[in-house]
Structures are given as structure tokens and as C-alpha cells.
Amino acid sequence: MREEPMSKSNSTQAERVDVLVVGAGFGGMYAVYKFREMGKKVVGIEAGSNVGGVWYWNRYPGARCDLMSVDYSYGFSPEIEQEWTWSEQFAAQPEILAYANFVADRLDLRKDFRFDTRVTSAIWDEEAKLWRATTDTGAVLEAPYAIMSTGPLSIPKDPDIPGIDRFKGELYRAQKWPHHDVDFAGKRVGVIGTGSTGIQIIQEVGRKAGELFVFQRTPSFTLPMRNREITPDYAAEMKKHYRQMRAAMKMNPTGGTRPVTSRPYFSLPPDQRIEAMEQAWINGGHTFLGTFADLMVNEEANEAVADFVRDKIGQIVEDPVAAEALKPRGYPIFARRPCLDTEYYETYNLPNVHLVDCKKDAIVEITEKGIRTESGETELDMLIFATGYDALTGALLAFDVVGRNGLRLKDKWKDGPVSHLGITMTGFPNLFATTGPNGPAALANIITISENDVDWIADLITHMEAKGLSAVEPTQETEDAWMTRVAELAAPSLIRKANTWWVGSNVKGKPTGLTMFVGGFAKYREACEAVAASGYEGYAFDRVSEPA
């Protein structure tokens, strides 16, 4: 470990460390652990008061992960796998947060984090070959390596509706839910937003509130989660097979254990297609995606599955007008993040739950007393926003990141994010992102990607230190070639055909486009490994000393 003296920079006392990590979600927690294990002096900065990232902030009623708990957990520590036991197939937020805290306790991670602290700028010092980060507490940190584990979903977005400040009732944002209990009993509650978050809130609050008014602009497709408890026998069996499972996850496009198929939809005769869809509906989860291989590239196949799900909605929802409004149309199924629910559609059969179809009766404004749509005012005691995020790039553009020759990240990304592997960027030496916007990011298991990315960065730093290299960045050709591959894979994908946070169209003025790597986690991991195996071909290094 290198112990550096405190240095003076810009007349502010700066603390010198080896590695700076931003974020205490699953990526940042693992990064802090990994670099500390390598003997580095590492400091993590986190805006929240504790670990957990998105699971620290998202405490809204019904919050739950739509990946299986055994998949959505760390694979780097066989000890933790054995010590921790999941209670449900799809864990709820309190259990996931408890898991993050368990890991933090077990590995003593908190001592290396500065909580309640936000980075306000990160600037590369070319002469000193280090990143200088300022924070809102006044602390300044300097480090040769900076790891941005800021997460794809960390900057909440309010709806673009006038009058938000006027509302005199209780106002809650799903993405920043308070730490105290919220009482819904007997209240008139309004929810804006029907993505994964809104769906989870609606199915929960609809059963607790006096009246629930759902202001729906775009309906989402949602599939039955079919969650269940994990029995002690099942947990014990799982624990025996963790190593094989983790190996299989590395080869899986989802970075999880969900089965994959090479079977195209039309390879089956019509009756068998229906049978397969019925089975996927019964099995629950994202099994449709493992039933047919071509749903994201074959519009006809996609539409057939969408029709199947629309029929199911019609069978469940008793009021035909509500059923029709809840049926998503005009975009491919799975082109928005597919939601998993527990009796979401059944919620609309409750007498206290009312659907306001904002496609036909648009929201005009928020008033002191509630929400005014074109047809009139709905008075509310409580209003909940489940209106999503400035995703993928929002957190990295929320502060000033300045690379070589004064290059600002917001200028580099003015037409959309570009990088190599989602991890490194030309012009930003020694700056690394985990689950960055040009990797699989939101399209695969974020914990698997985080571990892959941190390990890759750690190997690169080890390589540099062995060779006496001080700064690294991909060449422009390397970055361009990756972005060409990302674009070529994205071109046939139906994901481009929906307006979503995946393509940036949920934020006014944001450049739009599918910039994530849609080739799946396994191919992404192979690409990362190939770069390392080549001795980091396509990367430019600065030399400071003779090789170690």
C-alpha cells in the first residue's frame, strides 16, 4: 500500500488516496472491497447515509427486485453465499437492503466510505496524473484512479407537470421514499407513473388506501411474478450449487440463471406456440424471453406475444373500459423494461381503485388540492410520483467531470454517451465506470456486470503497476470501434421502437438512441476478457517509471 502525505492543491488541503470510488451501491461496495484487498488506500463517497444505492433510496411500498435473489447477489465470496439465506425467490427491498448491510458488516466496508457526501466535480490533473474530486462537504480527494459506480438509476425525475410546488397534501417520490412509515388508510391517494415502480406501488397501495387514483399515460406490459418463499431445503440445495451457478451466469446473456433458447417463435406450429405462452404465463417471471429467441428482433413474433398478454389483461380486468386502457399498444412488448407483478391487473377490480386514462383525459396541472385533468379536478390527500429517472448518463453528468485538455464529459456526451465497453473513455485517463451506458447496463444482471467491471479495472491497474505505467485511456479508434459494434447490434433491436429511459426519450432535451450493448452479458464479458488477454491492445498508456 502506498501511503501518501497530504498535499496542497488549489490552496485546499487535499487527501491523497490510491483509488476513489463514487457510489455505495453494489458496484461501489465491491470496488471498495476489491481495491482494499489489493492493498490500496481506497475511499468511497456516497450521497446516502449508508450502503445499498438504489435499494437505500427506493423504500416505497411494494419495492421488490424482478431478478431472482440467488442471481441478484454477489458471486465473489463463497463465504457470504453460504452465510446469507434468501427468504423469497424475488426479494423485497428490505431484504435486499439487509443483504447489502450484511455484506458491509461482514467485510467492514463502511469504514472506507464517506456517507452523506456528494461529489461536485472531478478534474484530471495532467501534471500530477491524478483525479481531484471536490465534494459538497468541502473535502477534496486526490487519487490516480477514479471509479464511478454511480448506477444507471440514481437521478430521480419529476413529471413535467406545472404546479408541483402548489400541492398542499402529502407528496412522495418513489425514488426518495421517506424512512418513516406512511399511512394510506382512509386517504385519497394519486399515483403518477405506471412503469415497474408505479406498478409495484399501485398493487400495494390499492389494497391499503381509501381511494386510489392511477393517472396512467402509457400502460406497461406486466407479467405475473409468481413469487414464492424459499424453503430451507431449497436454500440448502442452492447453497450446494452456487459455484456451478456463478459459472453458468458468466455464460448467460442475462448474467443470471434464466434459461435461454435458440428457438424462434415461428419454428413451432400455432397450437404449440399458444401452449408455450400459456406455460410461460404460468411459470411467471421473465420466462417468455427464454421461451422464444427472436422476440426482440421479429416484429410479428413480438406482436403475437403482445396479443397473448393483452388477451390475459382482458380476461382479468372486469371493467371493459379499464381493461382496454390497460392494454399497451403501439410499441413492442419487452421494448420497455418488462415489469413483473403480483395481482396488478386484479387491483383494478377493487371498488376503491380508479384508472384515469391520461391519453384521453390529459393531466393539465397539479393544484393545491390534487390533479386537474382536462375533464376536471381530482382532490387528493396524497400524491406519489413514480415517474422514473434521468437514467444511464444522469448521475455521471450531474457533476462536472473534466478530463485531458479541459475536455468536459457533458461536451463529449452531448450527442449521447460514448465509451469503450462502458468502462473507459478516450480523453479521460484512469477514469472508470461500472455498469456504464455502453455496456449491457440495464439489460442484464447489474451485480454480475458490476463484478465483471470491477475485476477488469483491477486487472488493468495491476498491469499498469507491473509495467510502470501512470495513465491509461482507450485510443479514439478503440472507442469508435466499440461504439460501431454497439450501434450495429442495436440496429435490428425492437427496443428502439419504444419511448423509454432505455433510449433516453423520457427526459426532455436528452439525446435519444439505444447506446447500451444489446449483445448480452456473455458476449460483453468475452469482449472485456479479449482486451485484457491482448495486453490491452487499443489502449494508450503514459509511462512514469521502469517496470516493477
Residues 425-444: x where in contact with ligand NAP by CB under 6 A, - otherwise, as a string? -----------------x--
Cβ(345)–Cβ(224) below 8 Å: no
Those residues with Cβ within 8 angstroms of residue 133's Cβ, 6 or more apart along the chain or in another chain = 20, 22, 45, 119, 121, 122, 123, 140, 141, 142, 143, 146
Q: Cβ 30 to ligand NAP, closest distance in Å?
A: 19
Residue 219 CB contacts under 8 Å (≥ 6 apart), including other chains:
194, 325, 326, 327, 328
Q: Is 388 in the site for ligand NAP (CB under 6 A)?
A: yes
381 grid coordinates = 390527500
* Backbone CA torsion sign across 304, 65, 159, 343: positive
Contact 152, 437 (CB under 8 A): yes
Verify binding: residue 217, ligand NAP, rule CB under 6 A: yes
CA neighbor of 221 nearest in space, from 156, 295, 312: 312
By rule CB under 6 A, what string of x and - marks binding of each residue 254-283 to ligand NAP?
Answer: ------------------------------
CB of 449 to ligand NAP, least distance (A): 13
Q: Of these, 25, 52, 195, 440, which contacts ligand NAP (CB under 6 A)? A: 195
Neighbour count for residue 274 (Cβ, 10 Å)? 13
H or E element at residue 543 = strand 539-543
Site membership for ligand NAP, residue 171 (CB under 6 A): no
Q: How far apart are the C-alpha atoms of 86 and 285, rounded to whole Å? A: 17
Q: How far is the CB of 486 from ligand NAP (least distance, A)?
A: 19
Interface of this chain with ligand NAP, residues 99 to 158, rule: CB under 6 A: 153
For residues 22-81, which are near ligand NAP according to CB under 6 A?
64-66
In 3D space, the residue among 247, 242, 254 whose CA is nearest the CA of residue 523 turns out to be 254
Kindly identify the residues of this chain, within the stretch 440-479, that bind ligand NAP according to CB under 6 A: 442
252 forms part of the interface with ligand NAP (CB under 6 A): no
- Decide if residue 334 touches ligand NAP (CB under 6 A): no
Q: Is 403 a binder of ligand NAP (CB under 6 A)?
A: no
Q: Could you say which residues in the range 484-523 bind ligand NAP, by CB under 6 A?
A: 501, 506
Among 198, 253, 370, 519, binds ligand NAP (CB under 6 A): 198
For residues 151 and 403, which CB has a smaller minimum distance to ligand NAP in the complex? 151
Sequence-ordered strand ranges (E) for 174-300: 188-192, 211-216, 222-224
> Considering the rule CB under 6 A, would residue 372 count as an interface residue with ligand NAP?
no
Binding site for ligand NAP (CB under 6 A): 64-66, 153, 159-161, 192-198, 200, 215, 217-218, 337, 358, 363, 386-389, 442, 501, 506
